[in-house]
């Protein structure tokens, strides 16, 4: 049993010495090996328990426990009990086939995800009895003193004891896009997580500097551990498709049982033997159950998975494909999801002139424009000097390897190299021709960095960059357009910087200076009050390419997009405005986590719907927002990549994690993983999901008349005391061949035109609408009438019972072929889209029917006989009648539905939070 760790209450508000005393540790010696071993046994290993996936048997059971499959199991068991072994074998064969398809697909998804999330075991440097040792991070305990440097992954939550220029990337935990500067000074006890500058947290990355820290929390006691606890507590809701199929299955089961009971009662009342009527009732139930539905549902979803895999998306659970098609709200993280988590320079101000910069990310592809025109660097010497300073006073590296740009170092410094490349400057040449001879490294207290560089002629020039306020404070002049010194207008520079910062931009100032007496040594006295301001550089984390179009497509489809981030409100507002999140193209509505915390429950729900951007939110508030949308009937998709996104990913109707930069916690909590982190794939997934649901509805609409019609044929024959037009073994032939050979081809239908122009499906709308139920009953009536009419006419014409039944079978089969062609679109007339699977399926079905009708072996097995020209005329007549009846019904339905759709879309256009008809 794990004991409570001897942690200091709020270690961020205590001094380093107080924390060391409470943990019984020493800053210079750490713990002894014996103390370390004792604490491991007392507090446990520094690991997060990985959720064990379901075992093999559980995964098989998950494939079988589908309500429709359980209905089939019951039917198969019943038929086996009464001695119908062939029927039972066929039904159980369908159950096994369906389970195999689902199991194999989920196994493939699991293997792909395991390959994606496989992480290398991390080691760390720790002091043990005053000596440095490299140990696995899992062996750390509270009280251990660890050494950190740039590039290290922080192994546990720790209180900083000593730092030098320390910065950490905490975006995965806090949502902040910029590295956080760290110090040893305590902060107020109620300081939010992002402001606890004296703590480093497990799983975050050291981007700059070095530090010594004492471990205060390990395993589940860390901030990551707290998030994992929230993930475990967030119960994943059933998907919309699962809910609809469950409800549909229950309704279908009730209907089948009711009809079977009526059949049994009607036969007994007519004087038939109870045992005989029980067998007839079971036969009717078998006829009415759509055996192929579970398998086809699985195959349709699997096809959607394959199509998504072409967009580099790994689907962990089959229903997730369809769920995106039902989505009404997408809640997206900003950093790394909407943006690339790559700082991009957007403006350079040199000698009072503003130069705009195109292009995004770290790739130096783009250009600088002055007054909307491309520039010639020869005519802008002040701009050149500003960019040269940005390159030389810089520790980052940017390399082009294997066709891609790879950045090493602080994202802000990488962005400075990128903008120099866009201007046509070669940073490698500049650095080679102006070697660094000394430097004043960046420190959070100093808020600036300075270097001395010796140029090729031997001249030593100083370069500096940093916070605008600090650089301006230490400048005594500014560079003029002709590179001469002019008086510095401090107020004007600070006002310009404040204006840029209010737009969500990070602003750096660049300056030059000459060392005292030309000596190649550097200290603060060399730069304080002696620098010349050469320019300002404004940058931000730009949206990913294609995100603007993807967001616009979602809005056009009636799907709301909400940005939920831990970043600064103004930064989030700017990005939201760039990607078009504001209602009707206006200013995005922004609410902070602190403001959400003050709202009552009702007001919280209203704010959730009316707000475009949620900034500075905690993981718990992300979860609250998802639940707020779900309470209002929305189907919520949550995208994210950070540890702080995991609880909301788990709770959302579908969680979509980033595969490249995403954390393991986020991927484990998700239903779908985007391997390339491309937000535009979300919009494609919504479209794909709608297509999957359309094809499912087409199949269900098509298959049910076969089952309902056959059930009604048996019921009518029993009630009227007539000879059965179709035998049970013939019923099984019809059910299995049509479902697999014909119905399955609908899974390959292309998406309907304009699928992203219609509003989302109302979450509470049933799988089958009233119009589709009417059409199913209409086609069922045609099949019953056709089967009975053909059966009776053939008998009255003197044909044998087998010939009459064979004619009835072919009437049903070919009428279903006509209905299949009509079901390619449930709203439109003849679909001219090519589906070779469908045409091949029809051809195969015709060949099978000819074999059933004329092959001697088939005649013996299925009690059929050859039919003549008069029989085929009846088949063709009812085939044409079926198609005409359905198309007429479709025309009436489309006229009414189009008017309702037009009104809904017009009411919903420009609406901030999407529309759907309830």
Given CA atoms 856, 860, 866, 872 in this order, what sign does their dihedral have? negative
Structure-token match 């062609």, residue found? 821
Is 890:829 a contact under the CB 8 Å cutoff? yes
Q: How far apart are CA 744 and CA 742, in angstroms?
A: 6
Beta strand segments in 521-635, E: 531-543, 560-564, 590-592, 613-615
User: CA nearest 384: which of 462, 453, 481?
Assistant: 481
Structure-token match 């089948």, residue found? 256
CA triple 779-782-785, angle to 5 deg:
150
Token pair listed for 180? 């956080």
Quickly list H helices, 270-318.
274-288, 293-309
Token pair listed for 322? 């369809």
CA triple 743-703-302, angle to 5 deg:
45
Is 166:210 a contact under the CB 8 Å cutoff? yes
SS (H, E, C) 661-697: CCCHHHHHHCCEEECCCCCHHHHHHHHHHHHHHHHHH
Buried b (16+ CB within 10 A) or exposed e, 760-773: bbbbeeebbeebbe
> Measuring CA to CA, how many Å separate 612 from each of 125, 167, 341, 576, 637?
44, 31, 20, 8, 15
Q: Please identify which of the residues 87, 333, 645, 694 carries the catalytic annotation.
A: 333
Residue 210: beta bridge partners? 149, 164
Main-chain dihedrals φ then ψ at residue 613, nearest 5 degrees: -130, 130
Q: How far apart are CA 392 and CA 464, in angstroms?
A: 9
Strand duo 313-315 + 672-674: pairing: antiparallel
Is 531:301 a contact under the CB 8 Å cutoff? no
> Measuring CA to CA, how many Å separate 348 from each of 72, 356, 382, 536?
69, 7, 11, 6
Residues 6+ apart with CB under 8 A from 522: 438, 439, 440, 450, 451, 452, 462, 515
Q: How far apart are CA 337 and CA 543, in angstroms?
A: 9
Token pair listed for 796? 């009255």
Residue 780 DSSP class: H
SS (H, E, C) 486-518: ECCCHHHHHHHHHHHHHCCCEEEEEEEECCHHH
Q: How far apart are CA 297 and CA 288, in angstroms?
A: 18
Please confirm, yes or no, whether 347 is among the known catalytic residues. no
Token pair listed for 607? 């704010």
Residue 132: beta bridge partners? 127
Q: Which helix (H) or strand (E) holds 93?
A: helix 85-117
CB atoms within 10 A of CB 85: 10
Residue 479: beta bridge partners? 485
Q: How far apart are CA 687 and CA 824, in angstroms?
A: 18
Strand duo 636-640 + 654-658: pairing: parallel
Is 360:339 a contact under the CB 8 Å cutoff? no
Q: How far apart are CA 484 and CA 492, in angstroms?
A: 19
CA triple 84-64-311, angle to 5 deg:
130
Mapped onto helix, strand or coil, the DSSP state of residue 135 is: strand
Catalytic residues: 333
């Amino acid at each position: 049993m794990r004991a409570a760790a001897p942690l200091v209450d709020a270690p961020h508000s205590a001094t380093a010495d107080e924390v060391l005393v409470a943990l019984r540790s020493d800053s210079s010696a750490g713990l002894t090996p014996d103390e370390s071993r004792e604490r491991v046994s007392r507090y446990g290993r520094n690991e997060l328990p990985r959720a064990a996936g379901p075992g093999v048997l559980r995964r098989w059971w998950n494939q079988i426990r589908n309500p429709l499959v359980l209905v089939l199991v019951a039917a198969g068991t019943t038929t086996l009990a009464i001695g119908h072994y062939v029927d039972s074998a066929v039904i159980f064969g369908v159950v096994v086939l369906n389970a195999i398809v689902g199991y194999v697909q989920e196994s493939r998804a699991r293997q792909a995800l395991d390959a994606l999330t496989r992480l290398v075991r991390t080691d760390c440097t720790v002091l043990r009895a005053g000596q440095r040792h490299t140990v696995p991070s899992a062996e750390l305990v509270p009280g251990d003193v660890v050494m950190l440097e740039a590039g290290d992954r922080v192994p546990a939550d720790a209180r900083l004891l000593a730092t030098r220029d320390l910065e950490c990337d905490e975006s995965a935990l806090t949502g902040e896009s910029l590295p956080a500067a760290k110090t040893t000074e305590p902060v107020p006890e109620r300081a939010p997580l992002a402001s606890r500058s004296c703590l480093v947290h497990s799983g975050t990355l050291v981007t700059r500097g070095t530090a010594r820290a004492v471990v205060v929390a390990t395993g589940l006691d860390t901030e990551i551990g707290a998030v994992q606890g929230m993930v475990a507590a967030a119960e994943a809701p059933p998907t919309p498709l699962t809910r609809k199929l469950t409800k549909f299955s229950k309704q279908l089961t009730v209907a089948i049982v009711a009809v079977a009971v009526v059949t049994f009662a009607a036969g007994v009342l007519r004087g038939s033997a109870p045992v005989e009527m029980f067998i007839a009732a079971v036969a009717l139930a078998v006829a009415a159950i759509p055996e192929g539905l579970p398998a086809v549902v699985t195959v349709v979803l699997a096809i959607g998975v394959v199509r998504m895999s072409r967009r580099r998306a790994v689907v962990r659970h089959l229903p997730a494909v369809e769920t995106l098609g039902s989505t009404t709200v997408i809640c997206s993280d900003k950093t790394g999801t909407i943006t690339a988590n790559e700082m991009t320079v957007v403006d350079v101000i040199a000698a009072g002139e503003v130069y705009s910069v195109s292009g995004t990310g770290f790739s130096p592809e783009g250009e600088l424009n002055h007054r909307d025109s491309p520039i010639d660097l020869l005519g802008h010497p002040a701009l050149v000097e500003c960019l040269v300073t940005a390159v030389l006073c810089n520790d980052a590296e940017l390399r082009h390897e294997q066709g891609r740009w790879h950045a090493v170092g602080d994202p802000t410094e990488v962005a400075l190299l990128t903008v120099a490349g866009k201007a046509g400057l070669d940073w490698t040449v500049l650095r080679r021709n102006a070697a660094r001879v000394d430097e004043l490294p960046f420190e959070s207290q100093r808020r600036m960095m300075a270097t001395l560089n010796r140029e090729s002629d031997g001249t030593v020039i100083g370069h500096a960059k940093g916070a605008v306020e600090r650089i301006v404070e230490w400048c005594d002049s500014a560079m003029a357009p002709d590179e001469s010194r002019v008086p510095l207008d401090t107020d004007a520079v600070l006002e310009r910087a404040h204006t840029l910062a209010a737009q969500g931009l990070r602003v750096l100032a660049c300056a030059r200076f000459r060392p005292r007496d030309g000596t190649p040594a550097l200290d603060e006295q060399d730069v304080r009050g002696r620098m010349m301001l050469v320019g300002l550089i404004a940058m931000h984390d730009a949206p990913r390419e294609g995100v603007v179009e993807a967001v616009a497509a979602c809005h056009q489809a009636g799907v709301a997009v909400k940005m939920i981030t831990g970043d600064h409100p103004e930064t989030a507002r700017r990005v939201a405005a760039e990607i078009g999140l504001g209602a009707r193209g206006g200013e995005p509505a922004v609410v902070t986590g602190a403001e959400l915390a003050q709202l009552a429950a009702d007001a919280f729900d209203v704010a959730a719907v009316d707000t475009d951007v949620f900034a500075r939110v905690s993981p718990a508030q992300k979860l609250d927002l998802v639940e707020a949308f779900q309470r209002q009937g929305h189907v919520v998709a949550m995208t994210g990549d950070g540890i702080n996104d995991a609880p909301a990913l788990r709770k959302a109707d579908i969680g979509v994690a980033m595969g490249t930069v995403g954390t393991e916690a986020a991927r484990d909590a998700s239903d779908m993983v985007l391997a390339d982190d491309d937000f535009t794939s979300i919009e494609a997934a919504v479209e794909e999901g709608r297509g999957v649901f359309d094809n499912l509805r087409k199949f269900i609409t098509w298959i049910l008349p076969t089952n309902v019609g056959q059930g009604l044929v048996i019921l009518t024959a029993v009630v009227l005391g007539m000879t059965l037009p179709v035998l049970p073994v013939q019923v099984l032939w019809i059910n299995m061949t049509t479902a697999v050979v014909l119905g399955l081809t609908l899974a390959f239908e292309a998406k309907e035109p304009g699928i992203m122009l219609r509003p989302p499906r109302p979450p509470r709308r049933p799988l089958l609408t009233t119009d589709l139920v009417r059409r199913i009953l209409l086609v069922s009536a045609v099949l019953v009438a056709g089967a009975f009419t053909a059966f009776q006419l053939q008998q009255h014409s003197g044909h044998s019972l087998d010939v009459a039944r064979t004619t009835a079978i072919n009437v049903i089969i070919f009428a279903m072929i006509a209905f299949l062609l009509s079901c390619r679109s449930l709203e439109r007339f003849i679909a001219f889209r090519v589906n070779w699977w469908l045409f091949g399926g029809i051809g195969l079905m015709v060949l099978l029917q000819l074999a059933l009708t004329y092959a001697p072996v088939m005649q013996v097995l299925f009690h059929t006989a050859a039919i003549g020209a008069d029989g085929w005329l009846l088949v063709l007549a009812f085939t044409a009648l079926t198609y005409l009846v359905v198309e007429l019904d479709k025309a009436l339905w489309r006229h009414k539905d189009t008017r309702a759709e037009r009104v809904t879309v017009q009411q919903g256009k420009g609406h901030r939070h999407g529309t759907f008809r309830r």
